[in-house]
Each structure stands twice: as structure tokens, then as C-alpha cells.
């Protein structure tokens, strides 16, 4: 594997205040694992939100080189960026086509996912002069987020007066409870979607994102759409155990402090030390996506979850002390051997030793939010597949 640095901070990666290592070979491996689970269905890659915070350019290029031929993004600007790195792929834009965006679609060969009669009307007008152009249809089967109603979709399927240039290449829906295999709503949505898919005979169908893939072959149809699974996160409880960790976030120790029993730590003086302590002050905080809710004390979540975040340092987990601040977090390193740690060393915030979803759970959230909140202050290193 080869490595290279994409250095947003103009600092050497080895000394950057906060750094992020992204293993693109692990992303490819996770996509291949989801492809194997998808059986006879083709497997797309969801790279919206800047590749779940890890960089749509690098993530997209690696997956395209590995054989991914279908991608999903949220907005047309993401699709235009991805097009430079996936020249022959089908790129679906989940927010659809709106006035002012049509040229971005046409110039970059992006496929709009149309989710309402208003979007359909605008799309028909946009292609009146342009000619035949592919689109996808989103149908709501119970989520109540985006999509044509079942009645609207069935009416459209049987509408002989629709424009001849209207040629959808995909009909899709999204599961509300795919992360719960026992949820009865999964089967209800499946049956509704089958009705729609049968009505659009000859058009490919897609129902399952990462969690839906795990529900089995009934849910796979023609195309699956893994997202968080590609990045090593849980789409269903414990599902990441069959995947490889992708991202490792670390923060440099700025200073090691010695504090006496009875002294307080961080804003609000919410943590009073019960013993003489050594504290490692590191250069990452909630501005870097290290959520304030992960604080050791002084935030409402600690009333529900007794412990906050932990870091990994010198072979040990170390707890967060007091409130996490905008640019800094304080860890308790009292139990580490003297001399095992010094200023300039790095604390792992999540990665190989602290699972992404464990780190997220300490802040009362999920891996999706933690990844997409990382921000731009991390100096980044990408490990490329060979």
C-alpha cells in the first residue's frame, strides 16, 4: 500500500495538531464485502456528505478503480466533483433536479432522483428541448421523508400521456427500520415496493442501503446502496464487526499538567479531582467534531450515560476529564507509567483501538454523525490500495 498526505493545514502530518488517517484499501474491502452480501444485485457506493466526511475525491476514485459503477450523492455539486474521478460511472443525485441546476446535471451526466410531482413537472420541462435524459424515481413506502406516494407512482406508471422522452432507469425507496431485522415495517415496505417495482416493468429497482443488505436476498432487487458500511460503521447493531476500520483520528498533546487533589478541570469547574493527577491537554475539540456531549462531566448526557469519551494512548484507554472545549480536550493520564507519555505524542480519538461507533455512543450519537462532523482542521493521510 502507498500513502500520501493531503495536508489542509500546511503542516507536516507527523506534527499536525490533529490528523486523520483514511485507509482507502479498507473502504474498498468493505465495498467488496457488501457486494458479496448483495448476491446477484449490483452494488453501488454512497459517497454523499463528502464521502461521509472522508473526502469524496479520494473515496470515489478508489471505489471507481475497484469496480463501482454506480454512485449516490446528495447534491449536484457533489456529483460534479465526483465526475472528475469516476468518468464513466452512473452518478445519482438524491435531492433531484431544481431550477438553476439543470446545466450541472447535463454537463456532468448526472442522474436526478425525482421525488415529487413538482420535480417531475420541472424535469419534463427541462428535457423538452434537451431530449431523452435518464432519471430515477424515489417512492415513499412508509418512511415519510422523500418520494412519490404509492398512488402517485402507480398513476405515473400507467400514464400513457407522459412524455416519450421520460425514461427512468431506476425506481428506489428507503427502509425506515432496516437496522432492526425484527421490525414488521421492513416487510410492509418490501411489499409496497414490490408493487411499485412490478408496475415499472423493465426498470431497475433498489430498496436497500447498508442495513437492508443484511436483511437478505428479498430486499436486494437489482441494485444495493451501501453507505456507512463502506466507512466501517454500524448500519445495524454490531454489523461493523465484519468490516474493516477505515478512519483513525488523532490529536497531539500540547501540554502535560500536574494538578492537585481538590483542584478543578475545564469550564464550569464541573470536575473536581479526587487525587493528584496528570492531565494531557490535546489539540482537538468540538470544532473538530469531537463532540462536547462526550465530555466527562458538565453536560446533560452524563445524567443518562455515566462515562464520557475515552482516548487511546501508550497502550491504554484514557478518560476525558471535564468539559470538551472548542479546540482542546483534557484526558486523565494519571494511571499511565511515568515517562510513557510526553508533549507531542498523539491520542487516538477513534480508530483501530476505539471503534467509531463506541466513540460516537459516548457522545449519545452514531458513527454517521461523528464522521460527517470531522471538519477541515485535520491534516489527512490517505493509504492507497496497491
Give me the active site residues, please: 48, 267
CA 100/CA 87 separation, integer angstroms: 23
- Alpha carbon dihedral 33, 39, 40, 42, in 10-degree steps, equals -30
DSSP helix/strand/coil, 31: helix
CA 187/CA 110 separation, integer angstroms: 32
DSSP helix/strand/coil, 120: helix
Q: Which of 23, 30, 385 is nearest to 243 (CA)?
A: 30
Q: What is the DSSP string of 293-356?
A: GG-SSSSGGGGTSS---EEEETTEEEEB-S---SS-EEEE-TTSPTTS--TT-EEEEESSSS-H
> What are the residues whose beta carbons fall under 8 Å from the beta carbon of 156, sequence distance 6 or more?
120, 137, 148, 162
DSSP at 130:
H
Q: What number of CA atoms fall less than 13 Å from residue 90's CA on the CB side? A: 18
Amino acid at each position: 500500500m502507498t500513502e500520501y498526505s493531503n495536508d489542509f493545514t500546511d503542516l507536516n502530518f507527523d506534527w499536525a495538531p490533529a490528523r486523520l488517517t483514511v485507509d482507502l484499501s479498507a473502504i474498498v474491502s468493505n465495498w467488496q464485502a457488501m457486494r458479496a452480501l448483495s448476491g446477484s444485485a449490483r452494488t453501488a457506493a454512497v459517497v454523499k456528505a463528502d464521502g461521509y466526511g472522508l473526502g469524496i475525491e479520494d473515496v470515489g476514485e478508489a471505489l471507481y478503480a475497484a469496480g463501482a459503477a454506480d454512485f449516490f450523492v446528495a447534491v449536484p455539486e457533489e456529483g460534479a466533483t465526483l465526475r472528475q474521478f469516476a468518468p464513466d460511472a452512473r452518478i445519482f443525485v438524491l435531492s433531484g433536479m431544481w431550477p438553476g441546476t439543470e446545466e450541472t446535471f447535463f454537463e456532468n451526466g448526472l442522474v436526478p432522483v425525482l421525488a415529487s410531482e413538482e420535480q417531475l413537472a420541472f424535469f419534463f420541462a427541462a428535457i423538452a428541448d434537451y431530449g431523452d435524459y435518464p432519471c430515477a424515481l424515489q417512492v415513499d413506502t412508509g418512511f415519510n421523508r422523500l418520494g412519490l406516494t404509492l398512488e402517485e407512482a402507480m398513476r405515473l406508471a400507467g400514464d400513457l400521456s407522459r412524455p416519450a422522452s421520460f425514461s427512468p432507469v431506476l425506481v428506489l425507496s428507503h427502509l425506515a427500520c432496516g437496522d432492526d431485522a425484527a421490525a414488521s415495517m421492513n416487510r410492509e415496505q418490501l411489499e409496497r415496493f414490490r408493487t411499485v417495482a412490478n408496475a415499472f416493468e423493465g426498470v431497475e429497482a433498489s430498496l436497500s442501503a447498508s442495513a437492508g443488505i443484511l436483511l437478505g436476498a428479498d430486499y436486494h432487487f437489482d441494485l444495493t446502496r451501501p453507505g456507512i458500511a463502506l466507512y466501517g460503521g454500524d448500519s445495524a447493531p454490531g454489523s461493523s464487526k465484519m468490516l474493516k476500520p477505515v478512519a483513525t483520528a488523532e490529536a497531539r498533546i500540547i501540554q502535560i499538567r500536574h494538578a492537585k487533589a481538590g483542584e478543578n478541570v475545564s469550564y464550569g469547574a464541573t470536575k473536581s479531582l479526587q487525587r493528584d493527577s496528570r492531565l494531557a491537554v490535546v489539540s482537538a475539540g468540538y470544532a473538530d467534531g469531537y463532540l462536547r456531549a462526550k465530555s466527562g462531566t458538565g453536560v446533560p448526557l452524563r445524567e443518562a450515560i455515566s462515562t464520557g469519551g475515552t482516548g487511546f494512548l501508550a497502550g491504554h484507554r484514557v478518560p476525558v476529564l471535564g468539559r470538551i472545549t472548542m479546540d482542546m480536550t483534557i484526558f486523565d493520564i494519571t494511571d499511565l507509567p511515568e515517562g510513557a507519555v510526553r508533549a507531542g505524542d498523539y491520542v487516538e480519538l477513534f480508530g483501530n483501538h476505539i471503534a467509531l461507533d463506541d466513540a460516537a455512543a459516548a457522545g449519545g450519537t452514531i458513527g454517521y454523525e461523528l464522521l460527517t462532523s470531522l471538519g477541515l482542521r485535520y491534516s489527512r493521510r490517505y493509504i492507497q490500495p496497491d
